[in-house]
Amino acid sequence: MTDILNAFVVFANFVLVPGAAYGAQLALGALGITLVYGVLRFSNFAHGDTMAFGAMVTVLVTWWMQGHGVSLGLLPTALLALPFGIAATALFVLATDRVVYRFYRRQRSAPVIFVIVSVGVMFIMNGVVRFIIGPDDQNFADGARFLISAGDFRRLTGLEEGLAIKSTALLTLVVALVVMAALFWFLQKTRMGKAMRAYADNEDLALLSGVNPDRVVMVAWILVAALATVAGVLYGLDKTFKPFTYFQLLLPMFAAAIVGGIGNPVGAILGGFVIAYSEVAVTYAYKRFLGHLLPESLAPESLVQLLGTEYKFAVSFIILVVVLLIRPTGILRGKTI
Amino acid sequence: MSDVTEPFLIGEKMVGGYGGSTILNGCTIAVNRGEIAVIVGPNGAGKSTAMKAVFGMLNLREGSVRLGGKDITHLSPQDRVPEGMAFVPQNNNVFAGMTVRENLEMGAYLRREGVEETMEQVFHLFPILREKAGQNAGELSGGQRQQVAVGRALMTKPSVLMLDEPTAGVSPIVMDELFDRIIEIRRTGIAILMVEQNARQALEIADKGYVLVTGENRFTDTGAALLANPEVRRSFLGG
């Protein structure tokens, strides 16, 4: 019995809990990607760097607040700085839309042109972020580090294995839940939200119904900025803030959006967790987990790891390819790419 | 109605086409409140183009469009909606991913009050929509979708309802049913302008019929008179 409990605790410690937090972060990122795809009709390659920008502003404001002795006690100060990050990112993407995307919208350019344009925007944002904060790791997390540490867990339960739950993991899940609930309430219940869905569903008919396209696009960008900043800050708190990692997140986030069904917000959330758990489960070494479950004679010598962690991005790539081949609309039918 | 009074909606001597082409060669289409006007004609006669021109989806090189005496020739389609014009496109005329109720709500997007009342009227006209109110419009049958599309247009409380081939792709029974509903809509005093492939059935309910050929008016008369006209019968109604 204790063996099974120990095995479960190991599994929860290294797969379930980190996967949940990572899944929520990917889901928030994928939501932004899916929103741009649905409303503005292109795949936004600059989304990862939008997250980096939002997180960067939040980091800077957090440092300033920490310098002035502002603190949230057990919670990270970054939560207080978050609204500033969102506002700055919203202004930045709205300016980008005004200067760059609007021109191509008026030209009624093909989606593939928008994609290439977004790659250009990505490089610019990339440069801006590195120029301001540099390419290195930055620490901005404060407050309580653990909800429960491995040692406390062991002492509490008397088990051999410990389960550590980082406070940022719980924070990620709670904030993600609140943000998602707010987003769905907005899309389902408000006048503007319905107009946005109508515009994404059938642009011409939405115009015939009197929907103002400029307003829809503006509100969509603000939502995207908010989602990107929240996702970027949560990822930075949970792991670390480094501009390059946000660029790397682009692939799993796109995979999440497409696997779930692009243009479909519920799909983006589902896809986020599918990708996160696949990545974590495939790159986890099951040696200790199996060691608790199997009799000593059968205990594995090797790490029992399907794929090295350095290959974790291959996992999203494989899932992406398989989904595109077998079910191009995604799990919950989105638009075909 | 005598000839001296101006019709409620008129697209007069319209000349135009897409790009540099000319599809309309000076045709005139008009309709009064409480009337059904039907545009018929062979393929490529410019029927749908004439209707789109009246709705402003095409730039006219000559001619004008007037609604209630007001010149609206240079208004964009979006700006004609608040003027009381509602257009039901032939294809993609519902929000497939939204519920029937949401489709109707979107029709009333620009209105702030009396929305529930208009929705009741639409439900009264199309009872099946009340049953399917919570279902996504994309999951409905072709005929039901057309009802959603017409219902969405009626939610704008239009004075003119324009229908582009409303019976395209639906069964004859559904077609009859739709025409019955259109007659009911006429009773509320709305002017109805439609393009129809099923010329004979459409002319039967039409107060006014326009037979277009190569973008010109070939015959213009009441629906009944056109049906009785041997030349129209022979050339356009298949005998």
Give the minimum alpha-carbon distance from A200 to chain B in angstroms, rounded to a whole number: 9
Cβ contacts below 8 Å, chain A against chain B, sum to 59
Residues B165 and B77 in one domain: yes
Mutate to test the interface with A, among B95, B105, B150 (most CBs of A within 10 A): B95
Res B239: pLDDT? 63
CB contact under 8 A, A198 and B82: no
A335 domain-assigned: no
Chain A residues contacting B, CB < 8 Å? 191, 194-195, 197-198, 200-202, 204-211
Res B169: pLDDT? 82
Give the minimum alpha-carbon distance from B107 to chain A in angstroms, rounded to a whole number: 5
Cβ neighbours around B161 below 10 Å, total: 26
Show the CA angle centred on residue A266, arms to residues A260 and A271, nearest 5°: 30
* Confidence check: pLDDT of B203 > 80: yes
Question: CA A130, CA A53: separation in Å to the nearest integer?
Answer: 9
| pLDDT tens, position by position, A162-175 | 899 999 999 999 99
Residues B161-166 have a mean pLDDT of 94
Nearest by CB to residue A208, choosing from B87, B98, B102, is B87
Q: What total number of domains does chain A contain?
A: 1
Residues A260-289 have a mean pLDDT of 92
CB contact under 8 A, A208 and B110: no
A243 domain-assigned: yes
Instruction: Search chain A and give the residue with CA nearest B154.
Output: A209
Question: CA A164, CA A159: separation in Å to the nearest integer?
Answer: 13
Nearest by CB to residue B106, choosing from A194, A200, A204, is A194
Q: Which residues from A are below 8 Å from B95, CB to CB?
A: 197-198, 201-202, 205-206
DSSP string, B91-131: SS-S-TTSBHHHHHHHHTTT--SSHHHHHHHHHHH-HHHHH
* Confidence check: pLDDT of B161 > 70: yes
Q: Is the CB of residue B208 less than 8 Å from the CB of residue B39? A: no
CB contact under 8 A, B152 and A206: no
Residues B132 and B38 in one domain: no
Residues B235 and B164 in one domain: yes
Closest to A92 (Cα-Cα) out of A140, A136, A55: A55
Instruction: Search chain A and give the residue with CA nearest B152.
Output: A209
Q: Is the CB of residue A147 less than 8 Å from the CB of residue A165? A: yes
Residues B79 and B174 in one domain: yes
Kind and range of the H or E element at B78?
helix B77-80
Residues B104-131 have a mean pLDDT of 93
Closest to B13 (Cα-Cα) out of B50, B46, B48: B50
Q: Give the residue numbers spanning the domain of B123.
A: 93-157
Residues B172 and B230 in one domain: yes
Residues B3 and B79 in one domain: yes
Residues B53 and B116 in one domain: no
CB contact under 8 A, B156 and A209: yes
More confident residue, A334 or B70: B70
| Model pTM score | 0.89
Cβ neighbours around A254 below 10 Å, total: 25
Give the domain-ending residue among B157, B174, B206: B157
Res A336: pLDDT? 55
Q: Is the CB of residue A40 less than 8 Å from the CB of residue A101? A: yes
Residues B191 and B226 in one domain: yes
Name the pLDDT band for A270 (thresholds 50, 70, 90).
very high
CB contact under 8 A, A201 and B96: yes
Residues A31-42 have a mean pLDDT of 94
Q: Give the residue numbers spanning the domain of A10.
A: 2-326
Q: Which residues from B are below 8 Å from A207, CB to CB?
A: 77-78
Residues B153 and B163 in one domain: no
Question: CA B129, CA B143: separation in Å to the nearest integer?
Answer: 11
Q: Lowest mean pLDDT: which of A3-7, A193-197, B159-163?
A: A3-7
Q: Residue A257 class from Cβ within 10 Å (0-12 exposed, 13-18 middle, 19+ buried)?
A: buried
Residues A317-324 have a mean pLDDT of 91
Residues A251-276 have a mean pLDDT of 94
Chain B residues contacting A, CB < 8 Å? 77-78, 81-82, 86-87, 89, 92-98, 102, 105-107, 109-110, 152, 156
Kind and range of the H or E element at B63?
strand B60-67
Name the pLDDT band for B4 (thresholds 50, 70, 90).
low
Give the domain-ending residue among B109, B130, B157: B157
Mutate to test the interface with B, among A197, A209, A333 (most CBs of B within 10 A): A209
| pLDDT tens, position by position, A92-105 | 999 999 999 999 99
Instruction: Search chain A and give the residue with CA nearest B110.
Output: A210
Q: What is the ipTM of this complex?
A: 0.88
Q: How, if at all, do strands B85-88 and B160-164 pair?
A: parallel
Instruction: Search chain A and give the residue with CA nearest B107.
Output: A209
Question: CA B113, CA B91: separation in Å to the nearest integer?
Answer: 29
Give the domain-ending residue among B108, B135, B157: B157
Q: What is the CATH number of the domain that holds A290?
A: 1.10.3470
Q: At what angle do helices A191-201 and A167-189 cross, to 10 degrees?
A: 80
Nearest by CB to residue B81, choosing from A191, A201, A208, is A208
Q: Which residues from A are below 8 Å from B87, CB to CB?
A: 208
Residues B2 and B113 in one domain: no
* Confidence check: pLDDT of B1 > 60: no
Mutate to test the interface with A, among B106, B113, B156 (most CBs of A within 10 A): B106
Name the pLDDT band for B2 (thresholds 50, 70, 90).
very low
Name the pLDDT band for A143 (thresholds 50, 70, 90).
confident
Res B89: pLDDT? 93
Closest to A232 (Cα-Cα) out of A28, A10, A84, A91: A28
Q: What total number of domains does chain B contain?
A: 2
Res A19: pLDDT? 94
Residues A229-238 have a mean pLDDT of 96
* Confidence check: pLDDT of A187 > 70: yes
A337 domain-assigned: no
Residues B61 and B130 in one domain: no
Share of chain A above pLDDT 90, in %: 72
A105 domain-assigned: yes
Residues B139 and B193 in one domain: no
A333 domain-assigned: no
What string of H, E and C letters represents the secondary structure of chain A? CHHHHHHHHHHHHHHHHHHHHHHHHHHHHHHHHHHHHHHHCCCCCCHHHHHHHHHHHHHHHHHHHHHCCCCECCECCHHHHHHHHHHHHHHHHHHHHHHHHHHHHHCCCCHHHHHHHHHHHHHHHHHHHHHHHCCCCECCCCCCCEEECHHHHHHHHCCCCCCCEEHHHHHHHHHHHHHHHHHHHHHHHCHHHHHHHHHHHCHHHHHHCCCCHHHHHHHHHHHHHHHHHHHHHHHHHHCCECHHHHHHCHHHHHHHHHHHCCCCHHHHHHHHHHHHHHHHHHHCECHHHHHHHCCHHHCCCCCCECCCHHHHHHHHHHHHHHHHHHCCCCCCCCCCC
Nearest by CB to residue B92, choosing from A198, A205, A207, is A205
Instruction: Search chain A and give the residue with CA nearest B55.
Output: A208
